[in-house]
Structure 1
Amino acid sequence: MDSFSFQIPTQIHVGRGKIQDLRNVKLPGKKPVIVTSGTSIKKFGYLDTLRIILSELQIESVIFDSVVQNPTKRNVEEIVEVFRENQCDFLIGFGGGSSIDAAKAAAAMLTNEGDLWDYVQIGTGKRKAFVHDPIPLIAIPTTAGTGTEGNATAVITNEATGEKVGIGCCFPRISLVDPELTINISPKYTAFQGFDALFHCMEAFIAKKAIPISNPLALDGVKIIFNNLATAVNHGENMDARSNMAWGATLGGMVICLSSCTTAHNIEHSLSGIKPAVVHGAGLIIISSAFHRLGAKRIPEKYAALADAIGISMPNQTIQEKAHAFLDAFEQLKFDCGVGKLCLRDYGFLESDFDEIIEKSHVIAGGAFSRDLYEITDSDLRTMLLESF
């Protein structure tokens, strides 16, 4: 066995009602900025719940509720300004992955000098290393998708360059994963978020950086999501499905920390960097059929193992037959969740955009193209885009 190392220092609390655990954990300060996108957590009373708990603990809080769908460098700068102006001492990322990611990046920039893009390792970034530990952060996701509560990465878009990149900057000190906070997510967004979590698990398993501790977690995440996503989408009130999806998403966040994502994520970041209206999960769904068809041809043994994980393998099947069975089940899951027909044209892409998408995929990737177990050429990328068009 090859040697390997890993670290996931976040204290994670998982289960229904876990937002109430704020009463029992050791908080890292006395005055947080609550970072969120605002609308849903106010509409459904989640923000009130959080502020009541903090008030009972005699914790004064400040709200920043302007995080956009694909959080921007400017969002991060604004959070830093609010934090300093109000003399706060820790952060709470509360909401979807966008809110938590923006809070992560702000936490790092509050203790490190310069511009956020000084610390970006690809594209126009200056490739510096963070010198100081970030401001303490508590993550409370209200979606089941990104898994950002289980890793150090923040995905941020630079509005000036169109680069959407992952920045390794801040593990949350504490993460509270409460599936009751996901009960009001619409079917469409439940699907988008759930497939993001599924892709994290799948990609972590098929990536070159997979290690012995990541593989069983990734396969367990794939099994959990396959067994629960369609129910969560079509019967959103089902708390068992919601609870399982919340844990599956957290597993997805952890395994991409232990392993990595693959080129599929680079392509999607290119898509939503060019057109920020593209929801991350939707972009991944759009290119997923073409990407995984290629993968099943190049590394069928990995896809056969995915078939084994979800329990659809039959006696005497060949590796190739198992791989194709998995692809069939994967396509059926997309249709069961109402997202089987998504395509690039839905978001206004043209074939004339392909060169830019491919170019930005390479810029965003940095060295990530080497994380696939097989070579992916520009010709392969163009074929994927055509098949996803």
Structure 2
Amino acid sequence: METYSFYAPTKVLFGPGKLGELGDQKLPGAKALIVTTGGKSVKANGYLARVEAELDRAGVKHVLFDRIEPNPLRDTVNAGGWLARSESCDFVLALGGGSVMDASKGICAIAANPAVDAEGNVTAGDIWTYVMGGTAKSQPIPNDPLPLVCVTTTAGTGSEADAGAVISCEETDEKLRLGDPRLFPSLSVVDPELMLTVPARLTAFQGFDALFHNVECFIAKNHTLMGDMICREGIRNAAASLATCVNDGTNLEARTQLAFANTLGGYAMVCSGCAGCHGTEHGMSAHHHDLPHGAGLIMIACAYHQHMIDVHACDDRYVEMARLMGASEAELAEQGPSAFVTELSRLKRECGMDELKMSDWGITEDELPAIAENAITTNDALFGHDPSPLTVNDVTAILKASYR
């Protein structure tokens, strides 16, 4: 039997109503920087007020930083880290989806690791010092980051259960990875009641991302026994609940099932890691920061997986995933591994995602080779997980096959 290592130390409060237990927990500090987006949803839906009330009940002071973008930017993360330090916050609370949780991990690192200028003055540090790949410096994080608490309001990234993050830089058109075991949240609240207000379109973007985390970790060449077990349940639960969540957003049972698949995706990434489909999308949204990560994945996933099926990268795993997504034995006998793409296409149609176009986000066909080059150059670690190697020409072909 294979060996594996598994380390996921986050305490998770999972299920409807769990936000109401936040104030009963032993929180990791006395003053929190609450990090959220610049949008209105967490305020309009009362989630911010509820979190603040739970912190008040626990006797914890708090400061608000509400500037996070859909693809969190380097400068914003640096600004959040400096605010946490200047306000003497001793932990960070992320309230939102994957972008907020990813940014908060960077903020935790920067708050504990300021820069010092030539005169000895303490100044804001730069997250690009610790981000990996591309033009980033890939240096170890010297001081322990601030502790992190996550209250997730979406079912998308699984960032509440892992120690990784993705940060973008507008100046260099790069979207790169931050990772350190000390960035695992100390506590995460996954309350599907907070997800009932997510609009259908965003639910689809986020839910497909959760599905693809499990899918890519299952086919990754560094998959493990523990990861396989997690991914199977993640794929099954995401496929069974996603269309219902999109078409009937008030269905709490379906929302809970999708939230579970999402958190499993975080554990899946602890076990192995996403592959070139994610790497390709990072190249897309590095050039077009307004492109939602999940939307980019939805547009390229069928072509990416059809390529892996065509080269027979891992036929048995594609057959198993198709079965987990609902393919019949007759369909599997007729289509073999391609039944997975059939099931994925069906799910896209059921969620109204089959009409997405790259051109709607300003992507032109002429720039696809540059996107492919950027993706492979800056996200080599993700492409290193592919079950069959991809070249720049392969990635360009996948993008062209997906383009509309």
Give the shorter-chain TM-score range: over 0.9
Partner residue of 1:302 out of 301, 317, 324: 317
- How much does 1:366 deviate? 2.6
TM-superposed deviation, 1:310? 2.9
Equivalent runs, 1:105-184 vs 2, <5 Å: 105-114=106-115, 115-169=126-180, 170-184=183-197
Give distance in 1, aligned partners of 2:332 and 2:110.
53
1:37 Cα shift?
0.5
**Per-residue deviation, 1:117:** 1.2
How many Å apart are 1:4 and its aligned residue?
2.3
Does the Cα contact within 8 Å between 1:101 and 1:156 map onto a contact in 2?
A: yes
Aligned to 1:14: 14
Alpha-carbon distance in structure 2 between the residues aligned to 1:123 and 1:278: 20
Which residue of structure 1 aligns with residue 339 of structure 2? 325
Q: Say which of 231, 234, 243 aligns to 1:218.
A: 231
Which segment drifts farther, 182-191 or 362-371? Answer: 362-371
CA drift at 1:317: 4.7
Matched, 1:78 2:79: yes
> How much identity, in percent, do the aligned residues show?
38
Which residue in the other structure is 1:197 paired with? 210
Classify the secondary structure of the residue corresponding to 2:88: coil
* Conserved? CA contact 2:319–2:332, under 8 Å: no
Residue type of the alignment partner of 1:192: F
Q: 3-state DSSP class of the match of 2:291?
A: coil
Instruction: Please list the CA deviations of residues 287-310 of structure 1 after superposition, one character each: whole Å capped at 9, or x if unmatched.
Output: 111001112222221100102323
Determine the C-alpha separation between the residues in 2 that align with 1:15 and 1:317.
35
CA distance in 2, matches of 1:243, 1:294: 33
Once residues 213 and 27 of structure 1 are traced to their aligned partners in structure 2, the CA distance between those partners, rounded to angstroms, is 30
Q: Which residue of 1 aligns with 2:265?
A: 252
- For the aligned residues, what is the CA RMSD? 1.5
Secondary structure at the counterpart of residue 65 of structure 1: strand
CA distance in 2, matches of 1:325, 1:359: 30
1:382 to 373, 396, 401: 396
1:312 to 327, 338, 350: 327
Aligned counterparts, 1:357-376, within 5 A: 357-376=371-390
Count matched residues: 388
Distance in 2 between residues matched to 1:316 and 1:357, nearest whole Å = 35
How far apart are 1:155 and its partner, in Å? Answer: 0.9
Amino acid at match of 1:43: A
State the shift of 1:88 in Å. Answer: 1.2
Unaligned runs of 5+ in 2: 116-125
Uncovered stretches (5+) of structure 1, i.e. residues with no partner:
none
Query: Is the partner of 1:139 in helix, strand or coil?
Result: strand
- Tell me how far 1:363 sits from its aligned partner: 2.1
Q: Structure 1 residue aligned with 2:246, among 208, 233, 246?
A: 233
Pick aligned residue for 2:222 from 176, 192, 209: 209
Give the match's secondary structure for 1:247.
helix
Aligned equivalents of 2:89, 2:145: Cα separation in 1 = 14
Length-normalised TM-score, structure 1? 0.96
Please say if residues 24 and 58 of structure 2, whose CA atoms lie closer than 8 Å, have aligned partners that are also in contact.
no
Shift of 1:50: 0.9
Distance in 2 separating the partners of 1:339 and 1:14: 28
Aligned to 2:122: none
- Mean Cα displacement is larger for which, 20-29 or 364-373? 364-373
Residues 137-172 of structure 1: CA deviation (Å, up to 9, x unaligned)? 101110011110010111110122111112104110
With normalisation by structure 2, the TM-score equals 0.93
Q: Retained in 2: the 8 A contact 1:34–1:62?
A: yes
2: CA distance between counterparts of 1:95 and 1:286?
A: 24
**Conserved 8 A contact 2:153-2:195:** yes
Q: Distance in 2 between matches of 1:387 and 1:310?
A: 24
State how far apart, in whole Å, the 2-side matches of 1:66 and 1:127 are. 25
Q: CA–CA distance in 1 between the matches of 2:263 and 2:381?
A: 25
Deviation readout 1:49-94 (Å, 9 max, x if unpaired): 1111211222221100111111011111111121122111111000
Structure 1 CA distance for aligned equivalents of residues 212 and 384 of structure 2: 18
The 10-residue stretch of structure 1 (60-69 or 80-89) with the greater mean CA deviation from structure 2: 80-89
Q: Secondary structure at the match of 1:367?
A: helix
Which residue does 2:3 correspond to in 1?
3
C-alpha separation in 1, matches of 2:137 and 2:37 = 29
Secondary structure at the residue paired with 1:267?
Answer: helix
Deviation at 1:25, TM superposition (A): 1.4
Structure 1, 246-255 or 368-377: larger mean CA deviation:
368-377
Determine the C-alpha separation between the residues in 2 that align with 1:235 and 1:121. Answer: 40
Report deviation, 1:316. Answer: 9.7
Q: Is the 8 A contact 1:112 1:131 kept in 2?
A: yes
Cα deviation 1:113-135 (Å, max 9, x = unaligned): 55211212211111211233211
**AA in 2 matched with 1:340:** D
- Residue 341 of structure 1 deviates from its aligned partner by 1.8
- Residue identity matched to 1:85: S
Would you say the 8 A contact 1:313–1:322 is kept in 2?
A: no
In the alignment, residue 303 of structure 1 is paired with which amino acid? Y
What does 1:86-101 align with in structure 2 at a 5 Å threshold? 86-101=87-102
Could you report, residue by residue, the CA deviation over 1:95-120 in whole angstroms, capped at 9, with x for unpaired residues? 11111111111111222355211212
Q: 4+ residue stretches of structure 1 with deviation over 4 A? A: 315-318
Q: CA offsets, 1:16-59, max 9 Å, x none?
A: 01111212211111110100014110010111111112112222
